[in-house]
Chains A and B, each alone.
Chain A
Amino acid sequence: MLVAGIDVGGKNVHIVLMKDGTMLEKGAAPTGIKKAEAVEQLYDKVLRQAGLKREDVEHVVATGSSGRRVTFAQGVIPEAAADARAVVRLIPSARTIIDVGAEEGRAIKINSEGRVLDFAINEKCAAGTGTFVDTMARALEITVEEMAKASLQSTQSIPMNAQCAVFGESEVVSLIHAKTPKHDIARAVHDAIAGRIGSVARIVGLEKDVVMIGGVAKNTGFVESLKRELATDVLIPDEPDFVGALGAAVAAETGVIEEKVETRVVERQDYEESSN
Chain B
Amino acid sequence: MAETKYHTKGLECWDKAKELRTKYYKDYAKAHDRGALRWEGGAWSFDALPQALEGEVHPLTEEPYGASVGADPETQVRYQEAAEGKWGCARDLCAYLRSYWGSIILDEYFFGGKWPKADFIFQNHICCSHGKWLQVVAELEGGQIPYFCFDVGAGPYDKIGERQINYVVEQLYDGIEFLEKTTGRKIVDEKLIQNVYNTYRSACYWSKVCELNQAIPAPLDEKSMYSLYVLGTLQKSSQEIADFYVELYEEVKERVANQIAAVGNERCRVLGDSQPPWGFLRILRYMEEYGIVSIGSLYTFSLIGWWQIDDDGNLVPYPTLEDQGITIKDREHALRLLAEGELRGKLMWAPFYGAKFKNELVKKIARQWKCDAAMIHLNRGCEGTAMHQMELKIALAETGLPVMTYEGNMADEREFDEARDMRLIDLFLTETMGLKKLAD
Q: Which one, A80, A118, A265, A270, contacts B367 given CB within 8 A?
A: A270
CB-CB < 8 A to A84: which residues of B? 431
Residues of B within 8 A of A116 (CB): 427, 431-432
- Chain B residues closer than 8 Å to A56, beta-carbon distance: none
**Interface residue count for B (Cβ, 8 Å)?**
32
| A123-B92 Cα distance, complex, nearest whole Å | 15
One digit per residue, 1 when the CB lies within 8 angstroms of any chain B CB and 0 when it does not, for chain A 248-276 equals 00000000111111111110101100110
Number of residues on chain A facing chain B (CB within 8 A): 33
Q: Counting chain B CB atoms within 10 Å of each CB, which of A65, A119, A123, A259 scores highest?
A: A119
Distance in angstroms from B408 CB to nearest chain A CB is: 11
Interface contacts (Cβ under 8 Å), in number, total 81
Q: Could you tell me if B417 and A261 are in contact, using CB atoms closer than 8 angstroms? A: no
A117/B402 in contact, CB under 8 A: yes
- Cβ–Cβ contact B424 & A266, under 8 A: no
Known: A117-B432, A119-B428. A268 touches B400 (CB 8 A): yes
Residue in contact with B427 in the complex, picked from A81, A123, A262, A266, CB distance below 8 Å: A81
Across-interface contacts of A65 in B (CB, < 8 A) = 423
Docked pose: A275 CA to B372 CA in angstroms: 13
B430 interface residue per 8 A CB criterion: yes
A77 to B430, CA, bound (A): 9
Contact in complex: A266, B402 (CB < 8 Å): yes
Segment 56-95 of B: residues with Cβ below 8 Å from A: none
Q: Are B373 and A266 within 8 A (Cβ)?
A: yes
Complex Cα gap A262–B405 (Å): 25
Q: Are A119 and B404 in contact (CB under 8 A)?
A: yes
Please tell me if the beta carbons of B434 and A257 are within 8 angstroms of each other in the complex.
yes
A78 at the interface (CB under 8 A from B): yes
Encode B406-439 as 1/0 by CB contact (under 8 A) with A: 0100000000010010011011101111111000
Cβ contacts under 8 Å, A77 to chain B: 430
Q: Which chain B residues in 201-215 approach chain A with CB under 8 Å?
A: none
Whole-angstrom CA separation of A116 from B427 in the bound complex: 8
Contacts of B432 in A (CB 8 A): 115-119
Task: For B403, list chain A residues within 8 Å (CB).
Answer: 118
Q: How far is the CB of B394 from chain A (nearest CB, A)?
A: 9
Picked from B268, B405, B424, the residue with its CB within 8 Å of the CB of A265 is B268
Q: Pick the contact of A275 from B370, B423, B430 — CB < 8 Å? A: B370
The answer to whether the Cβ of B401 comes within 8 Å of any Cβ in the partner chain is yes
A261 touches B267 (CB 8 A): yes
- Closest B residue to A117 by beta carbon equals B432
A263 touches B367 (CB 8 A): no
Contact A78 B367 (CB under 8 A): no
Question: Mask for A100-127, Cβ within 8 A of B = 1, else 0?
Answer: 0000000000000001111111011000
Per-residue CB contact flags for chain A residues 67-78 toward chain B (1 = under 8 Å, else 0) read 000000000011
* A274-B316 Cα distance, complex, nearest whole Å: 13
Using a CB–CB distance below 8 Å, which chain A residues touch chain B? 65, 77-81, 84, 115-121, 123-124, 203, 256-266, 268, 270-271, 274-275
Closest 4 CB pairs of A and B: A116-B431, A78-B427, A265-B372, A266-B372
Sample 23 A-B pairs with CB under 8 A, ordered by A number. A81-B427, A81-B430, A81-B431, A84-B431, A115-B432, A118-B432, A119-B424, A119-B427, A120-B405, A121-B424, A203-B390, A256-B430, A257-B431, A261-B433, A261-B434, A261-B435, A265-B373, A265-B434, A266-B373, A266-B401, A271-B367, A274-B368, A275-B216
Residues of B within 8 A of A (CB): 216, 267-268, 367-368, 370, 372-373, 390, 397, 399-405, 407, 417, 420, 423-424, 426-428, 430-436
